[in-house]
Amino acid sequence: MSGDIVTGKCACEEVKFHVRGNAITTLACYCPQCRKASGGSGHLLAIYDTEQVEVDSGSEHLGTFVIEGDKTTSGHDKVKVFCKECGTTLWYKVNEGERTVVITATLDADYEKTKPQSEIFTRNQPSFIPRIDGTHRFEGMVAPV
Ligand SMILES: [Zn+2]
Ligand SMILES: [Zn+2]
């Protein structure tokens, strides 16, 4: 993904935010929690340092839900942050809040540029979901994140 600033918003547009600079990496995650949270085959994600992500308006509409480590595939707590008005999941806080994992669908970027570099939890990827060309595939969690 490109440097500079990319804006983003939820479906009702009450919450607006921006990310600054390049994502650390981009992922497609097929873990069971992402599948449930997205209502689809999983999440498409971009990982940032939390300081790269800033809310511009609507922070009063943000809700959080902690998915505790005994319920996550990784074994670590994940804090899901969503818009209380429209229900859009915006991002997850992980690594004790150090990293913010943004749902790329919420970004206003050219969606082509959010292409995942890796697919993770491929052991949970059903055969009817096509593989993405040119990604690194990991059966579970990707190591450096
Ligand atoms: Zn909203
Ligand atoms: Zn996941």
Tens-place pLDDT, residues 82-140: 999 999 999 999 988 999 999 999 999 888 889 999 999 999 999 999 999 999 999 98
How far away, in angstroms, is 31 Cα from ligand 2 center? 4
The C-alpha atoms of residue 45 and residue 116 are separated, in whole angstroms, by: 8
Interval 39-86: pLDDT, tens: 889 999 999 999 999 999 999 999 999 988 888 877 888 899 999 999
Class of domain 5-128: mainly beta
Interval 7-28: pLDDT, tens: 999 999 999 999 999 999 999 9
Query: pTM, whole model, 2 decimals?
Result: 0.90
How many residues would you count in the chain?
145
Count of CB atoms situated within 10 Å of the CB of 141: 15
How far away, in angstroms, is 106 Cα from ligand 1 center? 10
The secondary structure element, H or E, covering residue 32 is helix 32-38
CB within 5 A of ion ligand 1: which residues? 10, 12, 14, 83, 85-86
Spans of all domains in the chain: 5-128
pLDDT the model gives residue 83: 98
How do strand 53-57 and strand 16-20 relate by DSSP bridges? antiparallel
